[in-house]
Structure 1
Amino acid sequence: MGAIEIQGLTRSSLVGQVAVDSVPTTAALEALQCSEQRQVLDTVSELRRCGLDNVLSLPQLVVCGDQSAGKSSVLEALTEIPFPRKDNLCTRFPTEIIIRRGKTETLKIRIIPDRRRPAEERAALNDFSETVYDLRDLPEIMSKATSKMGLEETQSSNGPRRAFAMDVLIVEIEGPTRPQLTVVDLPGIIQAETKDASQADVDLTVEITKSYISSPRTICLAVVSAANDYANQPILNLVRQYDPQGKRTLGIITKPDRLPPGSETELSFFDLANNKDISFDLGWHVLKNRSFEEMAFSISDRNASEEQYFRDSIFHRLGSDRLGIQALVVRLCMLLFAHIRQELPRLHTDLEDTLYRAKSELSALGSARTNAGECRGYLTQLSLDFHELCKAAVNGYYEGEYFKAGKEQALQTNCSDSIRRLRALIQSRNTVFSDEIRLNGHKFHVVSVKAEDSQADLIQPAPEDEIEEGGDEQCSGTRTTTDKSGPFDHIEAPEKVTHDEAIHWVNIAVTRARGRELPGNFNPLVIAELFWEQSSKWHLFAVAHIGQISELCRSFLETLLSEHCPRDIQVRLWPKIHDQKRQIERRKVELERCLEDATQHVEVPGCSSDHTFPSVNVNLAMKIYSERMDPDMDKHSSELVLDCLRAIYKVYEKVFVANIAVQVIERHIVRGLEHIFSPVKVSQLLDAEVLNFAAESDSTKKEREALTEKVRMLTDGRTILSELMSRIL
């Protein structure tokens, strides 16, 4: 049955023969009945009606507590509606009570289905809508809603009845004297299995309560009965579990008239209400429910009885603003309005972020794909996006949404946001490679020490002013065997030697290479031999660097593909892309072998033999000779060889680094990366291959439907929220 508008219906005709008297609205409450408050509360109700409470955390007041704690009596006092108590029907599912100021008295009931239900069941529950013209009809309509949810009152032949549901019953109440308030009543927590409630029902009541109070935008109205020791009522532990500092919990004590006057129990509950035992930022409130003898009382009689009790009890010391139903209505109206108004900007931001992510996920699914033509069109567009983004990343053109993520973070090779900026990462790693070669690529680290220094001091790092002149670039040796990181951690640090030890090393080589040279001269071939030894680790650095860049490119391609197509298509496409990538890997391995061989045959200009060497700096040689005049001709020639080695090493270190970066990394790994998956390759695929790659699976179809519905809800919610914020903020 569709909802029917009620025109000119008076409150007395709505209630029929049920004795319900109008409760005068206080001046404080009257001040709250403004259009702005109604707009704010109605907006949240509309957002919930759109289903956004399944997507976002919405601001709300939630009444929670143990079974028989008096929650139903609290709601009855708040709404002035006598909800049926038979079989505890009103607390077998979450019930959202929406109270609004209106010209006429109306009461409508509808259902928001649990999102986990099948689509057919959700549609049937969404269609349920009833209007109450006479409160005597309310029990029957509540029973219809209960049956619609599948909560049978009697046990069926198929098994035990279903006692609780996650569906939400919406009760909308309007009237000329109604407050502006929305509150959600939850099923009471059952502490033990009974004949009417299985262990599954016990667990479900706790699950329902947790699902609401765990939301950071929920204000918990924790109802505690004075008829039981509050230390044994689990609701207090639950709210403190999700709100440990008590910033969004208001405690409500019911049935205080059950406490023996003057007893220690009464005093303990008074201290609790005074926020002295369990402290909440929002404090506590005390209500007196109808006693068994007062069940036939009207609303006004109920309120009069409550006022009389508080005048004579210990609780009157708390102050009138923390006692009774009228004070609670004012308190809740103010609390809810302030809470929602405070949360609106953050709610708007969360909505926009969620909508953006949902649209991105839906966009990644592409259009529906049922035949070869649709699949080819999808793959063509996917490959075009892939090609353009890959090309931009390789060239360092970081424009567009794809490159905006993580812009405040430092580049990290293991970060998906950083991997998008592939060119920046490659340049960064090239710099690290160059620094590693410069600092640690040489075999020997020549340092200068004083003659009186002990041999033990030679293994310590040399101060900057003691590093051998002319050898600082290649001999700084800042990384030791215990100070390693990254892809080069398996390579030994340079071995520290003194200048004299270096001369001894060179002299051995000069002696072994001696030919027919005159004393003081040396065989030019010795420089090549020393160079090979000093640069013997270069290929290790190069292989490690090439491997890291190759892995960066692989990660980039995989990340790009995963972010632009569904998982099932990624799984099908990646092996094809990876096969092409393996061709690069095979070329890389071959290059590594060639590189290793090349490091053993370095050509040095200036020699007539098979090896070329740089010409000897005559002026430098004469200067050294005239200053030192060392009669040891072998040592003299060794000094010249060491000087030549330093000069050659500097030149070829830079050439080697440049060749690795340009001739290997750029030419054979990075160049052409965007062509691995391109529209040209898609156009060459057969129809069967296209279907195999891109045909939509059942899971993808369901995902598309869910995302489409999510985007619709969020878009509707954004419109509703934006209109409100433009009016009040």
Structure 2
Amino acid sequence: MSWPSWASSNTPNGNPSEGEEAQDLIDLRQVTLFDAIDKLGRLALASDIEYPQLVVVGDQSCGKSSVLEAIGRFRFPVSDLLCTRFPTKLILRRSAQEHERVFIEPGTSRTANDRFILQQFGGLVTESAVLSEWIRRATVVLGVSPATDGDTGLRVAGSAPRQFTDDVLVIEKHGPGLPMVNLVDLPGVFRATDMDGQDETSREMVFEMVQDYVRSQQNFILLVISARNTVYNHSGLGMVQRIAQEDASLMDRVVGVITNPDHSLSVRETLGLLLGRHSSDILGCKWHLVKNQDQTQRSKETLVQRDRREAQFFATSDMWGEVPGDQKGIAALNATLREAFREHTLTTLPRLISEIRAKISSIDRRLSDVGSSRSTDKGRRRLLVSIASKFRALADKACSGVYEDGHCKELHEVGVTCQECEPFFRKAQDMKLRANIRALNKSFSSAMLAYGKTTEVLSSPKTEPARGGPAVPADLANPTDSRTAFPPATTTSKYYTHTKPEPVVLVAFEDWVDALIPKWSAKEPTGEASEAAYHQLFMDESKNWPEIAGRHLEAVWESVLRFVDLALAAACPYPDLRDALEKRLVNTGLRTLKKKSHRTLNDLLHCHRHGGTGFYDAIIDARAARRKPEKGNPVFDGLPDMIGDAVFQHLSGVSSPLSPVILSPVRSLVSQAVRGAIQTTFGDNSATDTDASSIVDPASEVPKRASTTAGRVIQHVEENYETSLVSFVGYVNALVVESGILRELPTAIFTPDIVMLESDNMINDIAGEKDTDAKRRERDERDLEELQAVMDVLENHMSRRNHNSVQV
């Protein structure tokens, strides 16, 4: 990469020639205002505040750098083979003393650590350290050029060089005869890719970067195109047009410049744009015509000579005679920009003041907490209690399903947000913990119904379904777009998709059970099955339950952990303190609560494995009252609902007061299961004499051949399987998830009471201020003072403007 003479000379770089009159882009009465605004970009505390800037946008090789030189009276690198790899901000101020410095404003893509490192870069440009060397070092630090042996340790990331970056290199220059100028030059937009780093990824990155600058309503846009090319073939112009269709206010903050009028591809087309003759699909802003220097003229002429040559060109050129004088030449462009940018800045000032005021309030409160509160044992404990209270409030709302954000008490204008009024529950679905877990509970129920049974008993080979691997059941396969599926399709695939039941023909299955009955024999009469035979077959048919339930619990805990991370970040905005809280306190409570939930699930599985009758006692007792119904018998008409109510009341007794919301589907499933059992055993009410050996379940079409011992065992298991499954699912969702996790989470891991019980040593380990934290706090306190000074300047200008408006 080569740099022009201005960057390597030891003489004052870029000063105007003797006798040249500086053309300011900043109103002299507002120099202090623009100087104050410039400080915002250098303050880490205000990195997220957008402030008004004059931004230069255009395609590569459109003459953008030549325009900037003419405006700023400051030579820019211009080469057919050289393109800007990062935004460059130029700040020029007229003063008696010469003074020049370089620094970097980190881009939004940088991490907090990278930002801290990049903000250390910079310094004064002296004779021993010319500007060209500073720029070369900046390209290495930013990672857009390879490091040499002497640059070891300079690059931030230490990875392969980037092709482009959104970090801003700021060149601030003071000296006699300089114009008052603030502007940002962006990398040129390009279409074609090449082998010199301008690949498709780089093209998209530059496009997105420039588009973000254009979209920002704080920025004023200077759009540059070249008359060498057709109007419709400029990527930068096309981008601005598309954004203008979305935001009509963009028209009020764009000025267009057409370069290379002496090499115009179509004079008629260029005149049409300048005079507003094009159709409405062409950007309707004010356009200017500026003549560039070619490479020979640039190397031999001063900028004053450039202006004279431009004025002579327009004075003697017939083709541009009908263009108004206030649209031709660099002087006319400067006059337009100065007035337009001044009005734009004053228009954006109220919102900027409001944002800074909210930022100062938030930072002042945070520094007060982190500073004075962490200097004593009492202060550190008070700080942790405050954070714990906020976390507890969020956890209470999320676990109970009350997704209401708190009311912000800070004073700021409508439409401006601060940290206190930042919504929590509306940010993402992960915050709505109860809703997420309810969705997972339903997925668990569906997965148990689809995959819980080991075999699928068929009446004949003809009804055997197609074999295959895991498949999502119909009620888990969300028919909507996978991006809006709830729970997400990735969660369903990861936690709720298992191996399908193995299809087995009834006759073969009965023969298999008949062969195993002797192996399970006990004290029963010969030819009868023992109690163990029934239990063992049931256990074999339900051996998938532990895996399905275990995966469900994993999914629940994944959702819980995501919520805890988000809630802790909202309650504690200090990264170092948050990390210490997680490691020393929160994670310990989470591990304990997780172990308890797994122990409860293991207890349920243990009860299931050992034949615990608690899962279906209510069903078995009710079935004792069954008899063969006559047509229209009211006893059997109401029996399914009666049993469903009984199970509902039983489960509600061991769960939380909120469990009816969870258990309502269980009541319905139990009623359906009992109704199916009655239908299977007695047939339709109109049937009075039906052989039990020929009863067929209409849903499965499996004949119940109770005439054999194996048939009776299979029939008993088939009749009780679904009822036991529904009971088991209800207990897992109500007892393990609802009572064991949702009810316990707000009080089990991080509350004010837990903080108050911890030792002073533990509190100091968590909240004690480290040396690096103290240095960062001291820097933030200095920045806060500067931010307040900026605020005072802006409010003073706003007050004077309002006063002048009233007088007028």
**TM-score if structure 1 supplies the norm length?**
0.58
- Which amino acid is the alignment partner of residue 675 of structure 1? A
Question: Is the deviation greater in 631-640 or in 702-711?
Answer: 631-640
Contact 1:240 1:246 in 2 (8 A): no
Instruction: Name the structure 2 match of 1:184.
Output: 182
Find the counterpart in structure 2 of residue 570 from structure 1.
578
Tell me which of 145, 150, 153 is aligned to 2:124. Answer: 150
User: Are 2:208 and 1:219 aligned?
Assistant: no
The match for 2:568 is 561
Q: What amino acid sits opposite 1:150 in the alignment? A: L
Distance 1:630 1:697, change over 3 A: closer
Q: 1:280 to 1:361 in 2, by over 3 A?
A: farther
- Partners of 2:711 and 2:32 lie apart in 1 by 87
Match of 1:134? none
Secondary structure of the structure 1 residue equivalent to 2:221: strand
Rounded to whole Å, the distance in 1 between the matches of 2:442 and 2:801 is 50
Structure 2 gap ranges (5+): 1-17, 75-87, 106-121, 137-168, 188-207, 245-253, 274-280, 407-419, 478-488, 629-677, 695-702
Matched, 1:439 2:450: yes
Q: Quick one: distance in 2 between partners of 1:690 and 1:613?
A: 58
* Amino acid of the structure 2 residue aligned with 1:424: A
Task: Evaluate the alpha carbon distance shift between residue 159 and residue 392 of structure 1 in structure 2; reply closer, same or farther with a 3 A threshold.
Answer: closer
Q: What pairs with 1:160-559 in structure 2 (closer than 5 Å)?
A: 166=170, 168=172, 183-184=181-182, 215-216=213-214, 217-220=219-222, 250-251=256-257, 253=259, 266=263, 283-286=287-290, 309-317=313-321, 319-321=323-325, 322-325=327-330, 327-329=332-334, 331-332=336-337, 335-336=340-341, 365=370, 367-401=372-406, 405=423, 417-446=428-457, 454=462, 459=467, 485-488=492-495, 491-497=498-504, 526-559=533-566
Label 1:418 to 1:456 Cα distance change in 2 as closer, same or farther (>3 A).
closer
Shift of 1:594: 3.3
Structure 1 counterpart of 2:723, from 643, 651, 665: 651
Deviations 1:363-407 (A, max 9, x none): 885755223232222222223333333333333333334997475
Deviations 1:126-181 (A, max 9, x none): xxxxxxxxxxxxxxxxxxxxxx97333x448x9999799935358999xxxxxxx9
Deviation at 1:113, TM superposition (A): 8.0
SS in 1 for 2:456: strand
Change (3 A) 1:378 1:112: farther
Partner Cα distance (1:366, 1:486) in 2: 48
SS at match of 1:445: strand
Deviation of 1:643 (Å): 5.2
2:91 is matched with which residue? 95
Distance 1:447 1:108 in 2: 98
Paired position in structure 2 for 1:602? 611
Match of 2:736 among 644, 651, 664: 664
Distance 1:243 1:606 in 2: 67
> CA 1:75 to 1:664, structure 2 compared with 1: closer, same or farther past 3 Å?
closer
Are the equivalent residues in 1 in contact too, given 2:539–2:609 (CA < 8 A)? yes
TM-score (norm 2): 0.53
Contact 2:491/2:555 (<8 A) preserved: no
Report the CA distance between 1:419 and its aligned residue: 3.3
SS at match of 2:182: strand
Name the counterpart of 1:83: none
Amino acid at match of 2:606: D
Matching residue's letter, 1:51:
L
Q: Which residue of 1 aligns with 2:758?
A: 685
Does the 8 Å CA contact 2:56/2:186 hold for their aligned counterparts? no
In the alignment, which residue of structure 2 is the partner of 1:26? none
Separation (CA, whole Å) in 1 of partners of 2:616 and 2:51: 82
Q: Which residue of 1 aligns with 2:657?
A: none
1:61 equivalent in structure 2: 54
Q: 1:252 to 1:396 in 2, by over 3 A?
A: same
Using the TM superposition, give the Cα deviation of residue 502 of structure 1 relative to its aligned residue in structure 2, in angstroms: 6.1
Does the 8 Å CA contact 1:40/1:724 hold for their aligned counterparts? no
Aligned with 2:595 (options 583, 586, 594)? 586
Cα pair 2:597 2:740 within 8 Å, conserved:
yes
In structure 1, what is the Cα distance between the partners aligned to 2:93 and 2:358? 29
Structure 1 residue 442: Cα displacement: 1.9
What residue in structure 1 maps to residue 84 of structure 2? none
Aligned-pair distance for 1:511?
8.5
- Percent identical: 16
Distance 2:794 2:292 in 1: 42
Contact 1:155–1:161 (8 Å) recurs in 2: no
Instruction: Report Cα offsets for 1:404-459 as digits up to 9, x if no partner.
Output: 747567xxxxxxx43333222222222221222223222233566xx7x8477565
| 1:446 and 1:497 in contact (8 A); partners too | yes
Maintained 8 Å contact 2:64/2:224: no
For residues 241 and 559 of structure 1, what CA distance do their matches in structure 2 show? 40
Q: In angstroms, what is the RMSD of aligned CA positions? A: 6.4
Alpha-carbon spacing, 1:213–1:73, altered in 2? closer, same or farther (3 Å): farther
Equivalents in 2 of 1:509, 1:616: separation in Å? 32
CA contact (8 A) 1:93 1:169 kept: no
* Secondary structure of 2:758 counterpart: coil
1:665-688 Cα distance to aligned partner (Å, 9 max, x none)? 244444433232233333333333
- Over 3 Å counting, the alpha-carbon distance change for 1:446 and 1:550 in structure 2 is same
For the 8 Å contact 2:388–2:751, the answer to whether it is kept is: yes
Rg (Cα) greater in structure: 1
Alpha carbons 1:539, 1:595 under 8 Å: kept = no
How far does the alpha carbon of each residue in 1:528-565 deviate from its partner, in whole angstroms, 9 at most, with x for none?
Answer: 34332322211222222223323433343343334415
> Matched residue of 1:95: which SS?
strand
Q: 1:292 to 1:161 in 2, by over 3 A?
A: closer
Distance 2:718 2:269 in 1: 83
